[in-house]
Amino acid sequence: MKAKDILKNMKPYKPGKGIEEVKKEFGLDRIVKLASNENPFGFSPVVEKELPKLISNLEIYPDGYGAEIRKKVARFIGVEENQLIFGNGSDEVVQIICRTFLEPGANTVMATPTFPQYRHNALIEGAEVREVPLVDGHHDLEGMLQNIDEQTRVLWICTPNNPTGVHIDLTTLQSVLERTPDHVLVVIDEAYYEYLEADDAFDSIEALNRYPNLMVLRTFSKAYGLAGLRIGYGVGHPEVIQILEPSREPFNTSTVAQAAALLALDDQKFIEETVDENRKNKKALMQFCDDHGLKYFDTQANFLLIHLPCSGDEMFEYLLTKGFIVRSGEALGLPNTIRLTIGKKEDMQEIQEAMKQKLASVDEQ
């Protein structure tokens, strides 16, 4: 058998430790997972109540076009129905974009570290990946623009950026779009859009009117709390969507996921509550960091990247013994950091207490 050469050096996605695995290993009965930026408050109670009723006609293929969810999302964000493409998570929209635009001889420009799936999918398509290091947690947009040439097909911008949480302001993004050549598709990944509270935030949907080469990604996995159902979408110009459509599997989003997303979108009260709690708990966590001399990036998302006086792995291992799963920054290319999803108030108080103990023992050494 002969697979693509590039795959020889690639590893499958390594998920964070599983809850049951950690429970068993440390003899704990409760584990709090703060590793994947999932919603600690779950998902809309309306979806919970209605979901059992959605489980019918499972022998029938889903509506591949997603007519109802398409109509609902189009109305909700204020675009035409032919400006949307749905995916099995926005992850899949990333894959569809790469399948469509990337091939050997082409290149794609992105930050590093950022969401790893841009790079992963681009490599599989045989494209050259041009990674431009973050500067103090921010995209080096000037550096990224300088990397664009005739062979560049896609420019990836993640705002707020995963794993640093910082966002790109309106004026800056505007200027980047002005200076990006027309032959480059600019993909703005807004997986944490609902959490953005900065008043200089960019209105990407409005900008679609001015930039035909712009595409925006959103998801139901984060604030909407539906990560387990897998549904996200891309918004772009009708011509771009048309170019992408043949690369999409015909039945890529399930009947249940579409129906749940429809209900979730109607329950904006749940989103407001989620965002509100996140803001409060984030503030408290930042205060904790300030009190303990820990630096962090000014996040606009539901996670915080914290700099530590020890390695990220060491803090990760310690917190695991206390029943908390977080992300060590070592694997993300950010040594001596952890990325912490902002959880429920009680859990945050507990993890802060645990971190305090660990920091005290690091101080003594």
Q: How far is the CB of 322 from ligand PLP (least distance, A)?
A: 25
How many angstroms separate the CA atoms of 25 and 266, rounded? 41
Which residues inside 200-219 make contact with ligand PLP, applying CB under 6 A? 219
Q: Which of 134, 173, 191, 263 binds ligand PLP (CB under 6 A)?
A: 191
Question: Binding mask 4-43 vs ligand PLP (x if CB under 6 A, - otherwise)?
Answer: ---------------------------------x------
Q: Which of 108, 121, 204, 221 binds ligand PLP (CB under 6 A)?
A: 221
Question: Binding mask 143-162 vs ligand PLP (x if CB under 6 A, - otherwise)?
Answer: ---------------x---x
**Entry field: residues in the chain:** 365
Angle at 86 between CA 81 and CA 87, to 5 degrees: 175
Q: Which is nearer to ligand PLP, 131 or 189 (CB)?
A: 189
Which residues inside 279-298 make contact with ligand PLP, applying CB under 6 A? none
Give the three-class secondary structure for 133: strand
Please give the residue whose beta carbon sits closest to ligand PLP in the complex.
Answer: 89
Q: How far is the CB of 226 from ligand PLP (least distance, A)?
A: 9
Q: Which of 43, 86, 101, 115 binds ligand PLP (CB under 6 A)?
A: 115
253 binds ligand PLP (CB under 6 A): no
Question: Binding mask 334-363 vs ligand PLP (x if CB under 6 A, - otherwise)?
Answer: ------------------------------
Q: Which of 189, 194, 277, 347 binds ligand PLP (CB under 6 A)?
A: 189
Give the three-class secondary structure for 29: coil
How many angstroms separate the CA atoms of 306 and 289, rounded? 8
**Under the phi-then-psi rule, with left for phi > 0, alpha for psi from -120 to 50, and beta for the rest, what region is 248?**
beta
CB atoms near residue 208 (< 10 Å): 20
Q: Which is nearer to ligand PLP, 83 or 253 (CB)?
A: 253
How many angstroms separate the CA atoms of 310 and 101, rounded? 42
Contact by Cβ (8 Å): 161, 191: no
For 283, which DSSP code?
H
Instruction: List all residues 6 or more positions away from 62 whose beta carbon is below 8 Å from its beta carbon.
Output: 251, 253, 254, 255, 258
Nearest residue to 169 via CA among 298, 281, 82: 298
Q: How far is the CB of 92 from ligand PLP (least distance, A)?
A: 7
How many angstroms separate the CA atoms of 103 and 122, rounded? 8
Q: How far is the CB of 89 from ligand PLP (least distance, A)?
A: 3
Total residues at the site for ligand PLP (CB under 6 A)?
14
Contact by Cβ (8 Å): 258, 265: no
Contact by Cβ (8 Å): 78, 298: no
Which residues inside 67-96 make contact with ligand PLP, applying CB under 6 A? 89-91
Q: Which of 168, 227, 260, 265 binds ligand PLP (CB under 6 A)?
A: 227
Pull the structure tokens for residue 151: 């062979």
77 to each of 39, 64, 259, 264, how far by Cα in Å? 22, 21, 18, 14
**Under the phi-then-psi rule, with left for phi > 0, alpha for psi from -120 to 50, and beta for the rest, what region is 85?**
beta
Q: How far is the CB of 197 from ligand PLP (least distance, A)?
A: 17
Q: How far is the CB of 104 from ligand PLP (least distance, A)?
A: 25
Q: Which is nearer to ligand PLP, 39 or 221 (CB)?
A: 221
Q: Interface with ligand PLP by CB under 6 A: which residues?
A: 37, 89-91, 115, 158, 162, 189, 191, 219, 221-222, 227, 232
